[in-house]
């Protein structure tokens, strides 16, 4: 009996150590300044960091109150400085916890998880076409004459 339990404990420790080492080797990315954007149809003109967090996570409201459209959070597909800043300064959550949060919401009540895009240009294009979308881009990226507006800038 003891032998089998020891074997299971040793397997657990080795697995944990291997997994831990692989995560330590991940390259650290330092965040950059970001701008939070919404569609121009959205009557909101500015948001605080706390409000962005509540809307983006669809925590208090599922729909924009005055727009009467679903809130559609927009994210980056891969790890990047903008995402790093958004997760740490706005959400105060790790990347794994953000992902788990949306999987849990989807699992519990069929809620659609966040839409993910490769670049700032893709995010601007999506937010331009979706009245309920809210996303983040680098603060240095110009929104040009697209159908989006900046509601918060975070350094």
Contacts (Cβ under 8 Å, ≥6 apart) of 119 = none
- From the list 2-10, 33-41, 120-128, 138-146, the region that binds other proteins by CB under 8 A is 2-10
What are the tokens at 101? 């949060």
Whether 107 contacts 20, CB under 8 Å: no
Contacts (Cβ under 8 Å, ≥6 apart) of 12 = none
Phi then psi dihedrals of residue 135, to 5 deg: -145, 180
**Is there binding between residue 5 and other proteins (CB under 8 A)?**
yes
What are the tokens at 63? 């729909």
- Looking at beta carbons only, is 101 or 143 nearer to other proteins? 101
- Looking at beta carbons only, is 14 or 153 nearer to other proteins? 14
Choosing from 46, 48, 88, 106, the residue that interacts with other proteins (CB under 8 A) is: 106
Residues 36-75 that bind other proteins (CB under 8 A): 59-63, 69-70
Q: Under the rule (CB under 8 A), what is the footprint of other proteins?
A: 1, 4-5, 8-9, 11-12, 15-16, 19-20, 22-23, 59-63, 69-70, 92-101, 103-104, 106-113
């Amino acid at each position: 009996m003891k032998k089998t339990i020891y074997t299971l404990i040793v397997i657990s420790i080795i697995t944990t150590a291997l997994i831990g080492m692989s995560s330590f080797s991940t390259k650290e990315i330092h965040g950059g300044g970001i701008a939070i954007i919404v569609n121009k149809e959205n009557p909101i003109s500015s948001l605080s960091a706390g409000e962005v967090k509540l809307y983006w996570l669809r925590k208090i409201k599922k729909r924009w109150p005055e727009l009467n459209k679903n809130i559609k959070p927009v994210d980056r597909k891969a790890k990047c400085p903008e995402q790093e800043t958004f997760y740490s300064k706005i959400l105060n959550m790790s990347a794994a916890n953000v992902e788990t949060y949306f999987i849990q919401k989807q699992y519990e009540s069929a809620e659609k998880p966040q839409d993910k895009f490769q670049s700032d240009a893709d995010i601007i294009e999506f937010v331009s076409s979706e009245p309920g979308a809210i996303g983040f881009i680098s603060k240095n990226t110009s929104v040009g004459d697209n159908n989006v507006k900046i509601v918060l800038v975070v350094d």
